[in-house]
Amino acid sequence: MRKKKRGKICLLVIGCLLGILAPRAERAAALIRSEENTIRVFQLVSPGVVNITTTSIGRDFFYNPVPTEGSGSGVIVNKSGHIVTSYHVVQGSSHLEVTLADGSRWQASVVGTSPSNDLAVIKIEAPPQQLKPLRLGSSSSLRVGQKVLAVGNPFGLGQTLTTGTISSLGRDVMISPDVVIEKVIQSDAAINPGNSGGPLINSDGEVIGINTAIFSPTGTSVGISFAIPVDTVRKILPGMVYLWPKLVTWVLAVILLVLLLRWFWRRLQPGYR
């Protein structure tokens, strides 16, 4: 009888311990799943994120040319070598060099810019098999509290991952005295100098924004960063990359100008009423 009682007591103690430890085990398992998602997404997107080194020529006190280097990040968007980045990364640069995730370096040229959206497209002549374009998602259904990841080149340290959540949507941000970008994404993912032009990623590995600026009195991350929504990128990307939209725009502009001059010329004729 005593053995039976001891057995029942042992079973009861084991049951109590299992009841206490089971929720903790579930929480640990949930944490592991979150970590696995972060690792998987980073491995998926990192080959499509590039480091951009810029060189611009300034002048010293005696007007001698002085080269100045800067750095930023970019997102490969197709196998043709087009890369989306921030306009302020390439602004005023005389030389651009792109470093891919495999370490290879390529000279780049600017093919399109949109200063009002702080976006630019550059191009490299790398073999298609070395280019890993990232998927562009949608920013229309984003929600505050959603997990986001940022991959970039902060302080020249390439392929750096930071994580956070969306803090707010629809912000208007002034990035220069004459440029205000509307409806940007605010997140608390750590963004520092060199991250500009890099992607903001969701849990499915899709680009939902292009990191553009931080709010900081010190110039380093304080947990407030901003990204251009990917829907804006989708809207203006064809006009910056492909010749046909530019050609159509120029043709329409020329036609309108000709019609305007013709109307003005007819009004100058003596018999015009």
Q: Point out the residues that are catalytic.
A: 88, 118, 196
In one-letter notation, the amino acid at residue 24 is R
In one-letter notation, the amino acid at residue 16 is C
In whole angstroms, give the CA distance from residue 63 to residue 237: 38
Report whether 161 contacts 42 (CB < 8 A): yes
In whole angstroms, give the CA distance from residue 120 to residue 129: 23
In whole angstroms, give the CA distance from residue 67 to residue 93: 10
Q: How far is CA 167 from the centre of its chain?
A: 16
In whole angstroms, give the CA distance from residue 165 to residue 227: 12
Using alpha carbons, select from 194, 80, 65 the residue that is nearest to residue 133.
Answer: 80
